[in-house]
Amino acid sequence: MVFSLTEDQIAIRDMAQGFAAETLAPHAVRWDEEKHFPIEEMRQAAALGMGGVYIRDDVGGSGLSRLDAAVIFEALSTGCPTVAAYISIHNMCAWMIDRYGADEQRQKYLPKLCSMEHLASYCLTEPGAGSDAAALKTKAVLDGDYYVLDGQKQFISGAGVSDVYVVMVRTGEAGPSGISTIVVEKGTPGLSFGANEKKMGWNAQPTRAVIFENCRVPVANRIGPEGIGFKIAMAGLDGGRLNIGACSIGGAQGALDKALAYAQERKAFGSRIADFQALQFKLADMATELEAARTFLWRAAAALDEKTPDASKLCAMAKRVATDTGFEVANQALQIHGGYGYLADYGIEKIVRDLRVHQILEGTNEVMRMIVARSLVGRAKGN
Ligand SMILES: Cc1cc2nc3c(=O)[nH]c(=O)nc-3n(C[C@H](O)[C@H](O)[C@H](O)COP(=O)(O)OP(=O)(O)OC[C@H]3O[C@@H](n4cnc5c(N)ncnc54)[C@H](O)[C@@H]3O)c2cc1C
């Protein structure tokens, strides 16, 4: 049972929070406005061990746990949820190679991913296959020592800038068992990108389509055997969902801290707005909901570390709770700022916009309910 952080975890959190406050927070609003992807700053985060948080240390990873990662991504996100979330996706890709890749593949890709000299993108979603990801159609046809890829991935974070694309492709029959995972390197002929999407939030990282046209990729780039790509993709998402939940909690904690400070300065009806009990109760509820979500996320992270049979279900539950709670708390923090909360300079509306997409990606929160419901109904039926 984990109810408090160890001394080491507190030190890691303080390091990540200090980095977020000094290196991310002062620029977050400008990066959002200018749609700037802060690669140099992410490399600084990697130099502190955040490029390969739960990657083994023989290839430059930090060898930490999922619980440590949840603590780190929450702390990073207090500075900028968008940058923290991209680093979390990068970590997810690196972990897929670390966990399922052959040793040569690990040695080839992971040192540069852990230092973030190279960036990674996770390529599952397609224009016609989002929630129903197992319906993906991007083909990889074997031709000697190469696969020839044709198809399109949609909404890919980091696309166009990333060096390493971890792509789920169809090598066999319809459904999940016909899917394999292949690493495609930037610069491979036949790999191209769509325009950077115009988005509500997450503006400090690019989102583009990734297009494969007669794109020849060595068979040696396949991660694991043919047919286990969907399993690899879903295993990556268990941890990814914890991380994105942690990013929601961190973003919301940042918004709550701003609201607390603002409520003690702002005056109305002759007193500080923090003196109104209705507002105090709102703050109390925000802090309570956030703490409940955080505690539950840590529980799911501990389950994933221990590889318990219900870990995937707990990760789905925690993602749903953490991202819904994070969005609601951030939105209430905006309300406490009144009209000023709606202005970009206060940095609150940006957090609300950034956290909104966490309810959609890495599996929508409806898909999280499907995962939980399947396990409940399955169990009730004795399946
Ligand atoms: C900014 C951004 C970045 C992203 N980054 C990545 C990335 O890096 N890599 C990647 O692979 N993908 C990425 N995605 C894609 C994201 O994971 C998908 O958008 C998401 O999985 C939903 O798929 P969809 O958009 O096709 O929606 P759909 O699957 O079409 O769903 C539409 C609506 O129907 C609901 N729905 C669908 N099926 C059911 C059901 N059975 N029961 C109840 N409701 C259902 C959904 O919950 C949703 O509300 C990103 C998306 C965005 C917006």
362 an active-site residue? yes
pLDDT at 78: 98
Tokens for 218, please give them.
């060595």
Tell me the residue length of the chain: 383
Write down the pTM of the prediction.
0.97
Per-position DSSP letters for 105-125, written without gaps between them: HHHHHHHHHHTTSS-EEEE--
63-82 burial, b if ≥16 CB within 10 A, otherwise e? ebbbbbbbbbbbbbbbbbbb
Q: Which of 131, 193, 319 has the most ligand 1 atoms within 8 A of CB, as the residue to mutate? A: 131
pLDDT at 383: 43
pLDDT at 206: 98
CA 364 to ligand 1 centroid distance, Å: 6
- Among 174, 102, 182, smallest CA distance to 142 is for 182
282-310 burial, b if ≥16 CB within 10 A, otherwise e? bbeebeebbeebbebbbbbbbbbbeeeee
Q: Which residues pair with 166 in a beta bridge?
A: 122, 183
Catalytic residue among 41, 289, 349, 362: 362
Using the atom order of ligand 1, give the atom closest to the CA of residue 129. Answer: 26
Q: What is the mean pLDDT of residues 309-319?
A: 97
pLDDT at 1: 63
Q: Residue 367 and residue 130: Cα distance in Å, rounded?
A: 10
Q: Which of 360, 369, 372 has the most ligand 1 atoms within 8 A of CB, as the residue to mutate? A: 360
CA 237 to ligand 1 centroid distance, Å: 13
Q: Which of 361, 369, 372 has the most ligand 1 atoms within 8 A of CB, as the residue to mutate? A: 361
The DSSP call for residue 163 is: S
Say if residues 320 and 241 touch (Cβ distance below 8 Å).
no
Query: In the structure, what pLDDT confidence band is assigned to residue 2 with cuts at 50, 70 and 90?
Result: low
Q: What is the mean pLDDT of residues 342-363?
A: 97
| Protein residues with CB under 6 Å of any ligand 1 atom | 89, 121-125, 130-131, 155-157, 199, 202, 207, 357, 360-364, 366-367, 370
Q: What is the mean pLDDT of residues 353-372?
A: 98
pLDDT at 382: 45
CA 94 to ligand 1 centroid distance, Å: 22
CA 209 to ligand 1 centroid distance, Å: 14
Of residues 383 and 58, the one with the higher pLDDT is 58
Q: Residue 22 and residue 54: Cα distance in Å, rounded?
A: 24
The torsion of the CA quartet 68, 74, 76, 82, rounded to 10 degrees, works out to: 130
Residue closest via CA to ligand 1's atom 26 equals 130
pLDDT at 282 over 70: yes
Using the atom order of ligand 1, give the atom closest to the CA of residue 157. Answer: 8
Model confidence over 221-230: pLDDT tens digits?
999 999 999 9
- Among 232, 192, 229, smallest CA distance to 212 is for 192
**Helices and strands in the chain, H and E counts:** 11, 10
Using the atom order of ligand 1, give the atom closest to the CA of residue 121. Answer: 8
Model confidence over 169-215: pLDDT tens digits?
999 999 999 999 999 999 999 999 999 999 999 999 999 999 999 99
Say if residues 94 and 162 touch (Cβ distance below 8 Å).
no
Query: In the structure, what pLDDT confidence band is assigned to residue 83 with cuts at 50, 70 and 90?
Result: very high
Q: Residue 374 and residue 292: Cα distance in Å, rounded?
A: 24
**Mean pLDDT score of the chain:** 97
The DSSP call for residue 198 is: P
Model confidence over 21-73: pLDDT tens digits?
999 999 999 999 999 999 999 999 999 999 999 999 999 999 999 999 999 99
Model confidence over 223-255: pLDDT tens digits?
999 999 999 999 999 999 999 999 999 999 999
Of residues 4 and 340, the one with the higher pLDDT is 340
CA 80 to ligand 1 centroid distance, Å: 23
Say if residues 186 and 198 touch (Cβ distance below 8 Å).
no
